[in-house]
Amino acid sequence: MSDIIIRVAARGDGVTANGRHAAFAAPGDTLSEDGRVTPGPHHQTPPCGHFPRCGGCQLQHLDDESYAGFVTDRVASALDAQGLTAPLRPTHVSPPHSRRRATLHAELKGGRVLIGFSEEKSHAIVDLAECHILDPQLFALVAPLRTLLQRLGFKRRGDIHLTLADQGADVLVTGFSPDGLEAAEAIIGFCQRHGVARFAVDDGLGPETRWEPEPVTVTLGGVGVPLPPGSFLQATRDGEAALVAAVRDAVGQPRTTADLFAGLGTFALALPGKVYAAEGARDAILSLKGAANATGRMVFAEHRDLYRRPLTKAELDRFDAIVLDPPRAGARDQAEALAEAEVGAVAYVSCNPASFARDAKAMVEHGWQLDWVQPVGQFRWSTHVELAARFSRQPSSG
């Protein structure tokens, strides 16, 4: 007896109504009794020849409609697991070829340097000949980087962090630190030929810049912010714009806002009024502070580890609105303090629907209302899902 795939589970398997799972199946596919999958109307031909071996994508077999549905379902399922409901806004999905930040792996194998993502569920590297998620400006560096690393005598496994900055590509190679005049000339020549904005290496002692003809920046909220090597950025400009728009909509026009886990200032520099920005990464908060001061933005930036020292209720109550954008683990302690706070609105941005739902439950149990959730799929064809949400309540009269 055959069954119809009705949804895609969190790890990418297609699932039938009676709980049968099938790899690389899309909603509408037919799963036969012997496990064969017959493609349905939402099953597309994967655009990349490396799929499904490459771990960079898990869902290239889904058409646009079913991929957006997967992103929506991930968020809805996480809320449901905590007994929560909220209006879900239409899912925003970033287009192909839009990733401006990625970490590739490199190793010498068979006398040749391989560069690419790891295979799915493996440490083996898929040597990229094509890529449909990376910005073309970044992918164009993959082949020349192979040649450069080969020339520099690259032998150990390392990572290549690629970021598209205002001035061009920012390259950080870890696990490697070539020395000598010949290496310096090779790096400079590579950067000049390919328009690289910065080239840095890190052999475990911190990034060491080998090429940066002008200071590298990334524009956030209309401000050029100095970009430390390897810094966190939203994966796509498109996804960043969607999240910023959702956050601005969530907080409205506050006079004062606290931006927690502020990073380089993605949200702090896009908000009206006065902003307090807290971030545990010292280099990021120093960049934000310098950029805000240089442009006269009303942003007070503080280096603060919010896991060790979350803002207290008394501190939170000084603000009209709070923006929260924690790492994947969420912000359990900060959310618990926030649950007690008397703030007009909270915008919560998350890269993990499960930890978001856990924190959201704590807030709802303390009288907050989860007004809406905006699912965002900026990691195209990946099982990685993001969201922005709005919480509100009236300040207590006591």
Q: Is the sign of the CA dihedral 294, 299, 304, 307 positive or negative?
A: negative
Which amino acid does the sequence have at 154? F
Which run of H or of E encompasses 5? strand 3-8
Q: Which DSSP symbol is given to 271? A: S
Picking from 150, 192, 143, the residue whose alpha carbon sits closest to that of residue 168 is 192
Picking from 199, 131, 121, 205, the residue whose alpha carbon sits closest to that of residue 162 is 199
Sheet holding 196-202, edge to edge: 112-116, 101-109, 158-165, 168-174, 196-202, 208-211
| Residue 339 and residue 363 in contact, taking contact as beta carbons nearer than 8 Å | yes
Partners of 350 in the β-ladder: 387
In a 13 Å sphere around the CA of 346, the CA atoms on its Cβ side amount to 31
Q: Annotation-wise, does 325 bind a ligand?
A: yes
Which residues participate in catalysis according to the annotation?
A: 351
| Residue 387 and residue 353 in contact, taking contact as beta carbons nearer than 8 Å | yes
The CA-atom distances, in angstroms, between 245 and each of 26, 159, 236, 279 are 31, 33, 14, 21
Token pair listed for 72: 């929506």
Q: Which DSSP symbol is given to 229? A: T
Rounded (5°) CA angle 97-103-104: 90
Q: Annotation-wise, does 234 bind a ligand?
A: yes
| Residue 54 and residue 127 in contact, taking contact as beta carbons nearer than 8 Å | no
H runs (alpha helix) in 7-141? 64-81, 136-139
Q: Annotated binding residues, as ranges?
A: 234, 261, 279, 325
Q: Annotated binding residues for S-adenosyl-L-methionine, as ranges?
A: 234, 261, 279, 325
